[in-house]
Amino acid sequence: MGRLEGRVMVVTGASSGIGRAIALALAAEGAAVVVNYQHSRAMAEEVATAAVARGARARVVRADVSVARDVAHLLHDAVATFGAIDGWVNNAGADILTGETRTWPEESKWDLVMAVDLKGTWLGSRAAAELMRQQGGGAIVNMSWDHVLQGQGDPTAAIYAAAKGGVLALSRCLAREFAPQVRVNVVAPGWIRTAWAEGLDGARQDAIVSQTPLARLGAPEDVAAAVVFLLSPESAFITGEAILVGGGVVMA
């Protein structure tokens, strides 16, 4: 029996990358998983199919986490399907590093990241926490970024740091507001091998690895393991904390 047997977990932005790894790790621990997506239903369905293959129940729900009515729909669909929500992972994030958005004006990038990463986390956290408090308990995990603690000198990093630093501060406020019924914690990934990393040339990857004490890029599964811990009974006396999953590049 898994650590999360019988629990219901919502993962936003779960159709690919870190979100996909989180959803599948939760499924492997016995949780029913709500796989949220915004753009690709086919990819979300693939994640749900993989979760079911691990013996879990799964549900695919489309929602734009930056829109309050979509977040409410996501929450209500999860409850209607599974009866409750025990854990909520605010993983959805705007991609301004690859694809068309990479060419957008800086102000447009700022607006997108703030809407999805920061506002989306705020909306999801408040909706989930209110429900969990009524249910008598639950846990929320929000996604920050390890470099918010030391900075990085480029324009795109400044946008992400502003949003993800806000996520860290917001989460600690929510941890106090919704205690003791609801725990709110943060996972702050560093250099993780996602779609962004696939676009790096070998020299850039080598430079990152050389600066990393654990001498490799992280895997989405490394992040997922930290999230599973923070949603599991083993972390029952932990709230308002941040776990850095960055191989030691940033140490707090």
Residue 226: which H helix or E strand, with range?
Answer: helix 220-231
Q: Which bin fits 152, alpha (ψ -120 to 50), beta or left (φ > 0)?
A: beta
DSSP structure string for 115-157: IIIIIHHHHHHHHHHHHHHHHT-EEEEEE--GGGGT--SSHHH
Whether 160 is catalytic:
yes
Choice among 37, 82, 122, 160 that is catalytic: 160
In whole angstroms, give the CA distance from residue 240 to residue 23: 22
Contact status, residue 213 vs residue 248, Cβ threshold 8 Å: yes
In whole angstroms, give the CA distance from residue 25 to residue 224: 6
Active site members = 160
